[in-house]
Chains A and B, each alone.
Chain A
Amino acid sequence: MTPDGFRALGRTYGLAAGLAAVLDGFDTAVAAPQGVAVLPAAGLPHGACVVPHPFAAREGLAVVRFPPQSPNGRIGWGLTKARAVALAAVRLGVLEGLLDTAITRLAGRTFGGVPLIEKQLVVGAIADVLTELELSAAQCAEDAPAETAAAQHERLTEAGWTVTRFFGAEGYLADHPVRGLYLSALVADVWVPRPMDTYPGE
């Protein structure tokens, strides 16, 4: 499947379906970083022990831990190269879908009699997200070096946070579809290997 295909899957069917496609044919028990993974809740592999999470199940996901394979535990490299790109594309699709929902909401609400969608701060923030989406999609098509994946996913997490805020307090409810953006970040945090980072500022 191409990055565009993964993106469409994420947008149309959501994070769990997209993640299932990304992990298709992958031995998650071996690849899970240090035995930790976020997986589609349907059809968990043998040995996966589900760790309680307040809302992962609502999105069709499970946070799991695999038992240690040896006294040294597990290593597990996570998602690299094409699968890290595929996950980025799925996350792009999820983000696009929720941006669309957010824009409908912003257009239908007013503050001081003015639709939120016309407020300059909101207009600017939407433009920033759209720009990031295009840039990230281009990066998916660019065959970028594997070590750039973590930075790309972090940018998607930040764009997701901007979209989350478009929902106002609704954006903090676990029974709202926006939970997909919190879980999208968690999936990347668990699955995408990263260099141990420095503090870049807020």
Chain B
Amino acid sequence: MVDLDDRLRALRGVSAELARELRGHALAVDADPYRMEPHLAIGAYGVLRQTMTPRRYTDGPLRVGRFEYPPGSCLDGVVRDVELAYGDAGVLLACPGPGLAGILVDQLADDAQRDHFYGALATDAAWSFFAVTEPGRGSDASALTTELKRETPDCYRLRGTKRYIGNGSRGGIGVVFARTGSAPLSIRAALVEADMPGFHATGLDMIGLRGACLGEIQLDGVPIPAGMLLGNHLPALRRGLWGAMRVFNTMRAHVAALAVGTGLALVDLVRAERPGAPGIDQLRARLLACRRLVYTAGAAVDRDRDASGPPGVAKNAANALARAASRWAVRSLDPAALLSVPLLEKWTRDVCGFEFMEGTSDIQRQHITRSYLKSRSAR
């Protein structure tokens, strides 16, 4: 288990302060997530970009007092995100910047590709996408059918459809996974720009977490210069899905952080409306225990990016707790609270979204058990 040191407590403190401002934008982003101009100056967005962008593309790492927070730490990220999600997870997910694609680019890209990717995200209003999922195939990434076909020595063509992609219809640049052949190792990731011919994206109307702006991307012969394929300098085993799986391990810890933050926000929402509501101490204690699991998952991923067990445990626990918190909150307040406290109705929708992000609870169950069995047989 992880106990936060002074450095991480300072990060938690500054994130908690930023969350207050972030919450003030929650209802507006939920109502119209594509109208982001009024929200781009949110202080938390600056911190998110600073802590998710490599040093060479920023003015330097985030500093709080005597402490520094260089990008790349999953533990730093989940400590930050629990607090920001306490403000509002939907606004957090609407943040422009490198996002999931950045995590993969940091792992698989060469210097020229990194320059290209981060250069395209150098403004305050530039989003990126990370396109793995396809219609009808969901979590089965190995079954993807999007085709990356070599046309000339210098150019490929991308054909297929990606769906449920965060910022899919507003991202200017991102990563798309596709097949160069039928073998498992023929899945590759390419840097793709939305203004290329043959790239068509549409938004999907979401139930909650609407700031995530899921979209569908149709790729109709999009030209991809050979230099935009990620991982050319890496062994074949480390070019394709291996990278995606490592990104998912990182992101599961982050989703768990969002769920815990939202659960804690629901507890305090009820406390404000009905101090001493039955069950409040019990639920808060469970959420704080879950926050500790999330920190542990972040530290485990920092030690080993292939670790799938701890993020799976944290995500499943946090996901179930956040939804339980929303049901408890609804039952603890009178019906009018669903309108008079609009965040209650919104968060009741939002908590359902964590189930579907980076693998459903059934998928996590498999990760948890496999990870346990692997460690058991190694004992």
A: residues with CB less than 8 A from B are 33-36, 51-55, 63, 65, 78, 109-112, 119, 121-122, 150, 154, 157, 161, 164-165, 168-169, 171-175, 179, 182, 186, 189-191, 194, 196-202
CB-CB contacts below 8 Å: B213-243 with A: 214
Tell me which residues across on chain A come within 8 A of B282, comparing CB atoms. Answer: 199
Pairwise interchain contact B206-A199, C-beta atoms closer than 8 A: no
Pairwise interchain contact B206-A168, C-beta atoms closer than 8 A: no
Pairwise interchain contact B331-A196, C-beta atoms closer than 8 A: yes
A51-B339, A52-B31, A121-B365 known; A172 vs B352 contact (CB < 8 Å): yes
Tell me which residues across on chain A come within 8 A of B136, comparing CB atoms. Answer: 109
Tell me which residues across on chain A come within 8 A of B206, comparing CB atoms. Answer: 172-174
User: Which B residue sits closest to A173, measured CB to CB?
Assistant: B204
CB-CB contacts below 8 Å: B1-58 with A: 30-31
A169-B138, A172-B356 known; A63 vs B327 contact (CB < 8 Å): no
User: Which B residue sits closest to A150, measured CB to CB?
Assistant: B331
User: Which B residue sits closest to A168, measured CB to CB?
Assistant: B138
The 7 closest A-B pairs by CB, nearest first: A199-B279, A202-B324, A197-B331, A34-B336, A198-B278, A33-B335, A174-B205
For chain A, what secondary structure do more than half of its interface residues adopt (helix, strand, loop), or is it mixed? mixed
Q: Which of A63, A78, A157, A190 has the most CB of B within 10 A?
A: A190
Tell me which residues across on chain B come within 8 A of A157, comparing CB atoms. Answer: 327
Tell me which residues across on chain A come within 8 A of B338, comparing CB atoms. Answer: 36, 186, 189-190
Would you call B69 an interface residue if the criterion is a C-beta within 8 Å of the partner chain's C-beta atoms? no
30 inter-chain pairs at a CB distance below 8 angstroms, sorted by A residue, are A33-B336, A34-B335, A34-B336, A54-B31, A55-B207, A78-B335, A109-B136, A109-B138, A110-B143, A165-B361, A168-B360, A169-B356, A172-B208, A172-B356, A173-B204, A173-B214, A182-B349, A190-B338, A196-B274, A196-B331, A197-B279, A197-B332, A198-B278, A199-B280, A199-B282, A199-B283, A201-B324, A202-B321, A202-B323, A202-B324
A109-B136, A165-B360, A172-B352 known; A35 vs B205 contact (CB < 8 Å): no
A54-B210, A171-B356, A202-B323 known; A190 vs B335 contact (CB < 8 Å): yes
Please give the distance in Å from B252's CB to the nearest CB on chain A: 15
Give B267-283 as 1s and 0s: 1 = Cβ < 8 Å from A's Cβ atoms: 00000001001111011
Tell me which residues across on chain A come within 8 A of B331, comparing CB atoms. Answer: 150, 154, 194, 196-197
Would you call B308 an interface residue if the criterion is a C-beta within 8 Å of the partner chain's C-beta atoms? no
Pairwise interchain contact B353-A172, C-beta atoms closer than 8 A: yes
A172-B206, A173-B207, A174-B206 known; A196 vs B278 contact (CB < 8 Å): yes
Would you call B154 an interface residue if the criterion is a C-beta within 8 Å of the partner chain's C-beta atoms? no
User: Which A residue sits closest to B331, measured CB to CB?
Assistant: A197
A190-B335, A196-B278 known; A55 vs B205 contact (CB < 8 Å): yes
Give B315-343 as 1s and 0s: 1 = Cβ < 8 Å from A's Cβ atoms: 00000110110011011101110110000
Would you call B111 an interface residue if the criterion is a C-beta within 8 Å of the partner chain's C-beta atoms? no
Tell me which residues across on chain B come within 8 A of A190, comparing CB atoms. Answer: 335, 338
Q: How far is the CA of A200 from the CA of B320 in the complex (A)?
A: 13
Tell me which residues across on chain B come within 8 A of A33, comparing CB atoms. Answer: 334-336
Q: How far is the CA of A23 from the CA of B154 in the complex (A)?
A: 67
Pairwise interchain contact A164-B339, C-beta atoms closer than 8 A: no
Tell me which residues across on chain B come within 8 A of A197, comparing CB atoms. Answer: 278-279, 328, 331-332
Tell me which residues across on chain A come within 8 A of B277, comparing CB atoms. Answer: 196
Tell me which residues across on chain A come within 8 A of B335, comparing CB atoms. Answer: 33-34, 36, 78, 189-191
Would you call B59 an interface residue if the criterion is a C-beta within 8 Å of the partner chain's C-beta atoms? no
Give B244-280 as 1s and 0s: 1 = Cβ < 8 Å from A's Cβ atoms: 0000000000000000000000000000001001111
Pairwise interchain contact A161-B352, C-beta atoms closer than 8 A: yes
Please give the distance in Å from B218's CB to the nearest CB on chain A: 17
User: Which B residue sits closest to A78, measured CB to CB?
Assistant: B335
User: Which A residue sits closest to B280, measured CB to CB?
Assistant: A199
Known: A168-B360, A182-B352, A197-B328. 15 other contacts (CB 8 A): A34-B334, A110-B140, A111-B138, A111-B139, A172-B352, A173-B205, A174-B205, A182-B207, A186-B338, A191-B335, A196-B274, A196-B278, A197-B331, A199-B328, A202-B323
User: Which A residue sits closest to B361, measured CB to CB?
Assistant: A165
Would you call B164 an interface residue if the criterion is a C-beta within 8 Å of the partner chain's C-beta atoms? yes
**Choice from A35, A55, A165, A201 contacting B355 with Cβ under 8 Å:** A165
Q: How far is the CA of A34 from the CA of B333 in the complex (A)?
A: 12
User: Which A residue sits closest to B281, measured CB to CB?
Assistant: A199
Pairwise interchain contact B207-A179, C-beta atoms closer than 8 A: yes
Q: How far is the CA of A43 from the CA of B137 in the complex (A)?
A: 42
User: Which B residue sits closest to A109, measured CB to CB?
Assistant: B136
User: Which A residue sits closest to B267, measured CB to CB?
Assistant: A199
Please give the distance in Å from A159's CB to the nearest CB on chain B: 13
Please give the distance in Å from B26's CB to the nearest CB on chain A: 13
Tell me which residues across on chain A come within 8 A of B336, comparing CB atoms. Answer: 33-36
Q: How far is the CA of A200 from the CA of B282 in the complex (A)?
A: 9
User: Which B residue sits closest to A174, measured CB to CB?
Assistant: B205
User: Which B residue sits closest to A192, measured CB to CB?
Assistant: B335
